[in-house]
Amino acid sequence: MKFLFTAMAVALVAATAFAAQSIPPDLRETALAIFKPLPSIPEVTNNPRTPEKIALGKALFFDPRLSSSGVFSCNSCHNLATGGDDNRETSIGHGWQKGQRNAPTVFNSVFNKSQFWDGRAEDLKAQAKGPIQGGAEMANTSHQVVETLKSMPQYMEWFQSAFPGEAEPITFDNLTNALADYEATLVTPAPFDAFLNGDDTAIGPEGKQGLALFIEKGCSSCHSGVNLGGEGYYPFGVVEKPSANVLPENDKGRFAITNVPEDSYVFRVAPLRNVAITAPYFHSGKVWDLRQAVATMGTTQLGEELTQYEVDRIVAFLNSLTGKLPKIAYPLLPTETAATPRPQSQILGK
């Protein structure tokens, strides 16, 4: 059964900012109709997920030699030590170039229905091909990264174990396939999952009040599903356009992919797991304070000035999305050989 606040109750909350938000008795049932606890990890590539492939994917994820300069690994911008992102507005890449959009966390990204802020990659495998070849990111080519891996006997062995029976196991497709399968293991069960799964003590009263508000105010209309986002597409500024600082004019989001005018300033809904440890916020990375981010969402997406009380509760709820980060053994990477292409740090065209 879905719970609905009566008009009177809503009016009361709005009128008295410090009145305690009630916790609906059927909060879990209501939440389960909107959100989902973390499921088991899905198969993400058309190649069986094996321990060998995951181990290979992990090595690749941490290997800076995937970049032409030898400076950046996947982990540089999606740092597993700091919430799976890089704590910057936008990332720094090859030649000190700045990325256009905030680096999202890799944790739980397997549950997003598409990848990147504009959803231009259908899955993690397609996503991985972007930054490796992005001129302002890792600035490599598919050919050169394959040559780099082929030059190291240890990688040859690992690819053979991960893709048994293939005559040429080291390919760009297999590289991104292994990366995707490793990334799919990076999930972070959170107190909110425990709550959804039946543990009433997993979230405190403030968090529960926040969850009720999150649903009642309409946040969950977009931020739903297992990742509380990462599914649909909506304009940033449904009701009121954010400031040009937060929503830079030159980044029209999904419009650049679809060329449909209605997609101007449309972005994939941000997934909210681990949001409390992955500041700064929005595609522009311009907001560092989660409370401010929540308030901004109130005005731009809901057309509502959330009270301090409401913001506090919603943030308490969002804190319950901070998951248990996996323990990771730092990999030991293959040694280069005379055949390994040398790091290139010049910027093409300069």
- Catalytic annotation, pick one of 137, 216, 231, 310: 137
| 238 versus 347: smaller Cβ distance to a second copy | 347
- Output DSSP code: residue 21: P
Q: Within 10 Å of residue 337's Cβ, how many Cβ atoms?
A: 11
Only segment of 77-85, 175-183, 204-212, 241-249 that touches a second copy (CB under 8 A): 77-85
Any catalytic annotation for residue 249?
Answer: no
> Encoding tokens for residue 179?
């990366």
Given 28, 36, 88, 113, the residue binding a second copy (CB under 8 A)? 88
Angle at 83 between CA 79 and CA 86, to 5 degrees: 45
> Closer CB to a second copy, residue 28 or residue 88?
88
Residues 42-71 that bind a second copy (CB under 8 A): 62-65, 69-71
Closest Cα partner for 38 from 182, 190, 184, 185? 190
Q: How far is the CB of 330 from a second copy (least distance, A)?
A: 4
User: CA dist 57 to 47, 103, 134, 152, 316, Å?
Assistant: 13, 20, 20, 16, 35
Instruction: Please report, as residue ranges, which positions from 106 to 165 form the binding site for a second copy (by CB under 8 A).
Output: none
Stretch that binds a second copy, among 82-90, 102-110, 175-183, 239-247 (CB under 8 A): 82-90
If the CB atoms of residues 21 and 69 are measured against a second copy, the closer one turns out to be 69
Closest residue by Cα to residue 323 from 16, 121, 38? 38
- Is there a contact between 107 and 41 (Cβ–Cβ < 8 Å)? no
Is 167 or 338 the residue whose CB approaches a second copy more closely?
A: 338
For residues 289 and 276, give the distance between their C-alpha atoms in angstroms, rounded to a whole number.
9
Q: How many residues bind a second copy (CB under 8 A)?
A: 40
Site string for a second copy, 254-293 (x = CB under 8 A): ----------------------xx-x--------xx----
Q: Is 232 in the site for a second copy (CB under 8 A)?
A: no
When the beta carbons of 18 and 327 are compared against a second copy, the nearer one is 327
The residue among 326, 269, 275 whose CA lies nearest residue 301 is 269
Q: What is the dihedral of CA 211, 214, 218, 220, to 10 degrees?
A: -70
The label of the residue with tokens 């005018």 reads 261
DSSP 258: H
Residue positions annotated with a catalytic role: 137
Binding site for a second copy (CB under 8 A): 62-65, 69-71, 76, 79-83, 86-89, 92, 95-96, 98, 276-277, 279, 288-289, 325, 327-333, 335-336, 338, 342-343, 345
